[in-house]
């Protein structure tokens, strides 16, 4: 049987069209050779760049692909996205399973991971599963840096306002004074540096003397320690006891004097004795004055036995 050229051309065209249709659907995640794939749905606020034909995995193994992504037509959920994905094997899981969008690589590609749960009723084809988004490292860093960026911008704005107000507050005279103060501060630092150099030179020149002085201080300290040890080792308790006894005796003597006992006590307490002593002192003073003024009344002697005439006060 001879096949005509037109028939051959038609068969090739049909094959090409079929291959094109299969490739197009394969790119969309639909496998035409799998006549009955199980399809599920998950709802997300943001798909994070997930697209059709993105891989669907369970524990890292690909089990299907994303079929379609559409907006929710429900008015109460406007703006939310419904992701339809297919599972091409007989892996079973319950309705409590979670579907999570995650980063498949560092290049930013997104995939859909099934976090299976085996508790409860099995999820049948067409069921809605709970959708979540896994934060990748870049999103985490962004979440951390965004508040810091806002705070940094606020700090910069406040610093700019502060500098502007400071610039308006400080006039030319104040700026001149600040420059003068800084100049004086530089001079002070320079003088301090010179003083430090001079002190260093002085210490270097008197290093030996300082060493000898420190050695003498050390010797004096050792001698003081020895003296302290000697005082500690001495019978201080006996000395203190004797000192207490002496103080007690002296206190008794003072008490006796205060009571009028003894010569000193009687002298201090007997007013008559004090008066007699005072009168005797006065009479003795008058006698001495009389002897000084009239010595002839009290001194009578002669080398030849001549009788001296009596003293006549009128002769003077």
The CB density around residue 118, as the number of other CB atoms within 10 Å, is 10
pLDDT for position 198: 84
pLDDT for position 106: 65
In the block, residue with structure tokens 């005796």: 249
CA distance 102 to 60: 11
DSSP alpha helices (H): ranges in 113-235?
Answer: 137-169, 172-205, 207-233
pLDDT for position 30: 54
Angle at 315 between CA 314 and CA 316, to 5 degrees: 90
Query: Judging by beta carbons within 10 Å of its beta carbon (0-12, 13-18, 19+), is residue 42 exposed, middle or buried?
Result: buried
pTM > 0.85: yes or no: no
pLDDT for position 108: 61
Outline where DSSP puts E strands in the chain: 38-44, 55-58, 61-71, 81-87, 98-103, 110-115, 128-133
pLDDT for position 233: 62
CB-CB contact of 87 with 56 (8 Å): yes
CB-CB contact of 71 with 82 (8 Å): yes
pLDDT for position 176: 79
Structure tokens at 264: 């000193």
Domain range list for the chain: 34-134, 235-297
User: How many percent of the chain have pLDDT more than 90?
Assistant: 11
Regions in the chain scoring below 70 on pLDDT: 1-3, 25-36, 106-108, 135-146, 168, 171, 228-237, 265-270, 298-316
CA distance 39 to 83: 10
The CB density around residue 131, as the number of other CB atoms within 10 Å, is 20
The CB density around residue 297, as the number of other CB atoms within 10 Å, is 11
pLDDT for position 310: 52
pLDDT for position 149: 79
pLDDT for position 299: 63
Structure tokens at 39: 């399809």
CA distance 174 to 244: 75
CA distance 1 to 75: 63
pLDDT for position 90: 82
CB-CB contact of 127 with 40 (8 Å): yes
CB-CB contact of 108 with 90 (8 Å): no
For the chain, percent helix, then strand, then coil, each to nearest 5?
55, 15, 25
């Amino acid at each position: 049987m001879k096949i005509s050229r037109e028939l051959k051309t038609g068969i090739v065209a049909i094959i090409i069209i079929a291959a094109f249709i299969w490739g197009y659907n394969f790119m969309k995640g639909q496998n035409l050779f799998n006549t009955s794939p199980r399809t599920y749905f998950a709802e997300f606020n943001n798909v994070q760049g997930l697209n059709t034909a993105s891989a669907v995995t369970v524990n890292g193994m690909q089990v299907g692909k994303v079929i379609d992504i559409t907006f929710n037509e429900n008015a109460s959920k406007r703006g939310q996205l419904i992701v339809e994905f297919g599972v091409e094997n007989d892996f079973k899981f319950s309705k409590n399973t979670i579907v999570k969008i995650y980063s498949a690589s560092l290049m930013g590609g997104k995939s859909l991971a099934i976090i299976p749960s085996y508790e409860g009723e099995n999820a049948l084809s067409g069921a809605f599963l709970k959708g979540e988004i896994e934060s990748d490292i870049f999103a985490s860093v962004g979440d951390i840096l965004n508040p810091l960026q806002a705070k940094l911008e606020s700090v910069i704005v406040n610093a700019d306002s502060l500098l502007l107000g400071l610039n308006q507050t400080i006039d030319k005279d104040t700026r001149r004074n600040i420059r003068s103060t800084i100049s004086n501060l530089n001079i002070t630092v320079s003088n301090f540096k010179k003083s430090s150099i001079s002190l260093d030179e002085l210490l270097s020149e008197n290093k030996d003397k300082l060493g000898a002085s420190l050695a003498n201080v050390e010797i004096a300290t050792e001698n003081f320690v020895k003296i302290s040890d000697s005082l500690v080792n001495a019978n201080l308790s006996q000395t203190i006891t004797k000192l207490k006894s002496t103080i007690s005796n002296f206190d008794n003597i003072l008490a006796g004097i205060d009571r009028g006992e003894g010569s000193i006590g009687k002298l201090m307490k007997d007013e008559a004795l004090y008066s007699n002593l005072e009168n005797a002192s006065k009479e003795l003073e008058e006698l001495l004055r009389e002897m000084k003024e009239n010595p002839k009344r009290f001194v009578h002697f002669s080398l030849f036995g001549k009788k001296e005439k009596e003293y006549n006060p009128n002769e003077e």
